[in-house]
Amino acid sequence: MVSEMTPTRRVLAAVLGGRVDYVPPANPLAQTTTELMQICNASWPKAHFDSKMMADLAAAPYEVCGIEAARPQFDISLEAEVLGCKLDWNKPDRPPVTGPAYTDSSDITWPDKLEEAGRIPVVLGAIEELRKRYDGMLPIIPGLTSPFTVAGHIAGVENIARWTKTDPEKAHAFIEAATDFVIAYGKLQTIYGAHIIFLADPSASGDLISAETYREFILPSHKRIAKEISCPQILHICGNTSKLLPYIKQSGIDCFSFDAVPVWYCRKVMGNDMSILGSLDVIDLMPNGTPEQVYNRTRECILQGADIVGTSCGVSYGTSLENLRAYVRACKETPIPKCDDVEDLVRQIGVGIGRNMKENVLGGVQE
């Protein structure tokens, strides 16, 4: 056990593989619940356009529930918007892209002064506000949409997916251009005070692409981000990423935030090569479960080897404050298991349900 740590030191240590006094409840997924928005007087769409409101809402999970992270930028469409896409602002929550903006990657442009483009200054202003308000004590983990998802937004998700098979040079060109843009924006977030960058790549889900597609088209962009953005990074990919894990751990990114993969299995594949963040269900458990169920599931994640406990995706409007607090309480009250104990547990679970995993989750592939 080490001495008491600040939330920033704790989550940085967890992401980078260091010692912590308890597993941090540092959820970097969106947590814009109805109750939290009411408490801090935030509203849509204003929270996307007002730096102070964005900072207030990003800090609300910590101020109200003790969740040890602040995540400014609530949507994954900002990058595409700056690159020329239109958004549907009639949606009640996060605005989706209405359609692609380019058919040729050579036409992709963005303003020279990126810090003044679109809503980027709002996010940078929120990061600055949070940095001043907490004096570095609370980790600021802004969202940054990852290149494959951005390429899908500006060229069309179906087009990018099809081009990986029919016109790989065109797919590579779009992803490369998106990577250049994402790195430029990520560097700005770092300059303005981000402690960790949270890369969201939902279009790279194992439910949508093969492991071979990830390895050829997406892994190079993730490697570039890991190399060229100086602050630590967490990569989040939705869905079942079981088959992608062996390649994801080659990315050089510090931590992987996962969705529909058992914690023990992610721990087993990643070993000590990459920290893992997971994975409380947001479809049923968080909005509909009892605080006791949330507490027990959080404890289970820790015992199976999660370095940080967070949700598997953004929490829904209806998730109660009691359930968010139960998750925090479980992190603080669950002793950190010894490495040998985690390995024994992973081995026992693996023996018990390994066959079922191969047949039902991995599709029969070899682990």
User: Looking at the domain assignment, is residue 361 inside a domain?
Assistant: no
Give Cβ neighbours of residue 105 (< 8 Å, ≥ 6 apart): 155, 170, 173, 174, 176, 177
User: Looking at the domain assignment, is residue 34 inside a domain?
Assistant: yes
User: Looking at the domain assignment, is residue 355 inside a domain?
Assistant: no
Contact 267, 342 (CB under 8 A): yes
Whether 145 has a pLDDT exceeding 50, the answer reads yes
pLDDT digits (tens, 9 = 90+) for 10-61: 999 999 999 999 999 999 999 999 999 999 999 999 999 999 999 999 999 9
Task: Tell me the residue range of the domain where 129 lies.
Answer: 7-336
Cβ burial, residue 40 (10 Å; 0-12/13-18/19+): middle
pLDDT at residue 356, rounded to an integer: 59
Model pTM score: 0.93
Residue type, 130: L
CA distance 57 to 55: 6
CA distance 344 to 300: 14
Mean pLDDT within 263-290 = 95
Tokens of 154: 């500006």
Element (H, E) at 133: helix 120-134
The CATH number for 157's domain is 3.20.20.210
User: Looking at the domain assignment, is residue 282 inside a domain?
Assistant: yes
pLDDT at residue 345, rounded to an integer: 78
Query: How many domains, in total, are found in the chain?
Result: 1
Tokens of 348: 């026992």
DSSP 38: H
pLDDT digits (tens, 9 = 90+) for 107-144: 999 999 999 999 999 999 999 999 999 999 999 999 99
Whether 365 has a pLDDT exceeding 80, the answer reads no
